[in-house]
A and B are shown apart, each in its own frame.
Chain A
Amino acid sequence: MELLEQISQRLQAGKAKEVKSLVQQAIDAGVPAQDILEQGLLSGMSVIGEKFKRNEVFVPEVLVAARAMNRGAELLKPLLMQEGVKATGRACIGTVQGDLHDIGKNLVKMMLEAKGLEVIDLGTDVSAETFVKTAAEQNCQIICCSALLTTTMSVMGDVVRAAEAAGIRNQVKIMVGGAPVSQAFCDEIGADAYTPDAASAADFAASVCGA
């Protein structure tokens, strides 16, 4: 549908006001909220995600597009609840204990949401116990841990061990990321996936949830 394509295009350009009014137009025209979300907002956001992965756009474009997506999503939220639309999966995310640097974490959160996942944001300085407790209580399929500092990344290993101790290790995928993190580190601590950027993280998360 042309209108949805237009929403996607304007979202990619970061034009929040236009996205908001186009979303309203679509709602008024009777387009189902789920279609507006998936074929308009999320499809636009995933184009940005792909470009980000290829270094064609930078962090500000992602944030500007996400800002436009939020404007549109606000209008859709009540309608989506009415339609009873379910998220494709659920993840919890946070920066590990001792780390307050959350720009990367926030990007991953946005990208996961753009794939239709429900994301529980635990914020910053999150203990291994909190990650695991949340995952167990809220039935998350995924735990995402972020760290910017070499001094804090070792906490990710604690998360893996805490999940084992809690007996949920085989129910949950543990994803790790952040500037000092590498595939080798991921293997060393026995996490499930390392992704170098937010868009790749979303791809992996979506594949886990079968989205």
Chain B
Amino acid sequence: MPVLTVRLGTRRYEIPFTPGASLGDLLHEFGHVHPCGGRGICGKCRVLLSGHDEPVLSCRTTLGEEDAEVFLPQSLPVSQIAMTGESLTSLPAKGDVGAAVDIGTTTIALALYDMETGGCLAETAMLNPQTAIAADVIGRIDAAMKGKLETQRKLVTAAVDTLLLRACDQAGISAGDVRQRVLTGNTTMLYLLTGRDPSSLSHAPFLADTLFGAEHERGYLPPCMNAFVGADVTCAVLESGMCDAQETALLCDLGTNGELALWKDGRLYVTSTAAGPVFEGACISCGVSSVPGAIDRVLAQGGRMYVHTIGEQPAVGVCGSGLLDACAALLELEMMDETGYLEDAPCMLADGVSLTQADIRAVQLAKAAIFAGISTLLAKAGCSVQEVKRFYVAGGFGSHASMASAAAIGMIPRQLAGRAKVIGNAALRGAARLLLSPQGRAQAEAIAGAAVHVPLGGDAGFNNAYMEAMMFE
């Protein structure tokens, strides 16, 4: 059997393989990901392979009968964006310790809490390794139905275990001290976590055959609202406290899926809109997650563009918040017209980092899905934008994005920009609430049980709004 030598920084691994094996498959266990699901279109899985002058796409490369050697890029993007930003309690835990976990389509975040004091002891996050299978939930459901359910279950449980050990290490406790766990996530993520066949999520009428809201061997799984709006949204709504107030409020969780919840006159209307992984850096030519050197802010001033990078490092790419700002800046500088046409493509943001016309088009589809989702949800609930008094913005990308830029490019209604309240990874904090508050579970059940789902797929109003929202204005 030929052998593949994998070089990762200074480390070296040898894997025997059968001729004809996919290079991408062999590299999965090294955290090597295929954001486009192996279709060969995103270019994110480029690696250096012996015998090739140019980097190859691992997802489209099969190995022959000869030994081969591959060099992997060293940094695994562990995003800062998943962090809740809570100040950590430095004291070691006195009583029981509990873990809150948010399994996102793209990022998994875990936080440890002192169950007695409620203090946060440690926080950590990593890329969801299922990303290697597919970037979005449809791709993962599809893969699960083609025999990759158990693979995906193992990937996510191993990742949660890794994060738990890492967090325990930070907190200076042993994993055995963690007595309680709450694991939240979208409906698909919980299906995959529990190894449950997701067929019911794959076709209309999309009736999930379970909505969780129960203890599982790995911990408490909060209730989902429906096939598209999961336990993560239940947790985010709980955390926002929007259902405790009289005023009309809108919550927007901006991740790979844009999930929306509207609280009006004692009713909760929910929906989800497929924004795609664009704002996570996937499918953008120079897109990266929030790593050092990622352009996270772009400002137009005096007819020029200024960029800021994370850690003030030399620019390596552009992350979601930078992408959003860049589009707003291009509009303001009239380097892009309202239809998204770039006067001069590609457009340089920094040395080696540019935006292509295709990048702008990808942003356009994502932002239109969010805007059309918001306007259709409001319309269906008979609510005007003016009535929305509070606009909660949750999720990693949402928390770092400039709402002014989001309004400028037509991703959110202008009136909402000034009413935005950023609540970070609200799903994770909501899960922590379930861990710490005795009334939490009953509240979560009540929220999920009362939610009214507003489906957007196939809705003529949504289709029209989507087309209208395609414009950058």
Contacts and interface: CB of A to CB of B under 8 A. Distances in A.
B458 A125 contact: yes
B203 interface: yes
Contacts of A133: none
Contacts of A66: 467
A72 interface: no
A60 B338 CA distance: 12
B341 A149 contact: no
B339 A15 contact: yes
B203 A64 contact: no
Interface in B338-369: 339-341, 358, 361, 364-365, 368
Interface in A47-92: 58-61, 63-64, 66-67
A59 B199 CA distance: 29
Contact of A102 (B146, B358, B463): B463
A63 B467 contact: yes
B164 to A, nearest CB: 34
A113 interface: no
A169 B199 CA distance: 32
Given A100-B457, A125-B458, A67 B470 contact: yes
A186 B202 CA distance: 22
Contacts of B145: 150-151
A96 B174 CA distance: 53
A51 to B, nearest CB: 12
Nearest to A57: B361
A188 to B, nearest CB: 18
Contact of B358 (A14, A58, A63, A97): A58
Contacts of B138: 148-149
A123 B365 CA distance: 21
Interface in A135-194: 148-152
A58 B361 contact: yes
A60 B361 contact: yes
Given A95-B458, A123-B458, A149-B138, A61 B361 contact: yes
A196 interface: no
A7 to B, nearest CB: 16
B204 A151 contact: no
Contacts, number: 70
A61 B361 CA distance: 8
Instruction: Using C-beta atoms within 8 Å of the partner chain, give the interface range for chain B.
Output: 20 to 34
Contacts of A98: 203-204
Contacts of A102: 457-458, 463
Contact of A13 (B339, B361, B467): B339
Contacts of A200: none
B457 A67 contact: no
Given A15-B339, A58-B358, A124 B457 contact: yes
A150 B457 CA distance: 17
Contacts of A101: 457
Contact of B463 (A14, A61, A106, A148): A106
B372 to A, nearest CB: 11
B204 A67 contact: no
B458 A63 contact: no
Interface in B433-473: 455, 457-458, 460, 463, 466-468, 470-471
Contacts of B368: 60
Nearest to B206: A100
Interface string B180-210: 0000000000000000000100111110000
B67 interface: no
B203 A151 contact: yes
Contacts of B202: 149, 151
A100 B365 contact: no
Contacts of B467: 63, 66-67
B365 A59 contact: yes
Most buried by A among B199, B364, B467: B467
B458 A124 contact: yes
B142 interface: yes
Contacts of B199: 151
Interface string B143-158: 0011000000000000
Contact of A64 (B205, B206, B463, B471): B471
A125 B458 CA distance: 8
A178 to B, nearest CB: 13
Contact of B341 (A13, A95, A106, A123): A13
A66 B467 CA distance: 8
Contacts of A150: 142, 145-146
Nearest to A94: B458
Contacts of A99: 203-204
B473 to A, nearest CB: 11
Contacts of B358: 58
7 contacts: A14-B341, A60-B340, A63-B467, A98-B204, A100-B206, A101-B457, A151-B145
Interface of B: 138, 142, 145-146, 199, 202-206, 339-341, 358, 361, 364-365, 368, 455, 457-458, 460, 463, 466-468, 470-471
6 residue pairs, one from A and one from B, having the closest CB atoms: A124-B458, A100-B457, A98-B203, A14-B339, A58-B361, A60-B364
